[in-house]
Amino acid sequence: MEHRHLDTQRWSAAAVDSALDRGDLKDWRELFAGVQRQPELARLVLRVATGRPPDGASFLARALVRRLCPGLGGPTASECPPPDGPVP
């Protein structure tokens, strides 16, 4: 993703916000593929989406994290099951 010259090799809150705000389908796939691999990114997406105005992107981002990582918030680091294919 190349919004605001942000690096998505390590997703920051600004990069997540930019993807939710102006990202296209490719950007969302990249972000949520990362969510599936990294529980800490899933938590970051939830935090950013919760802090944004209540719009479709915020709602969808929260729903996708909860679907991909149903155990988020639990005591283990394996809250997001390993991906078994591309993000839908």
CB burial string 1-40: b at 16+ within 10 A, e below: bebeebebeebeeebbbbbbeebeeebbeebbebbbebbe
**Which pTM was predicted?**
0.77
User: What confidence tier does 82 reach under pLDDT thresholds 50, 70, 90?
Assistant: low
* pLDDT at residue 6 greater than cutoff 70: no
* pLDDT at residue 75 greater than cutoff 50: no
How does pLDDT run across 20-65, given as a tens digit for each residue?
999 999 999 999 999 999 999 999 999 999 999 999 999 999 999 9
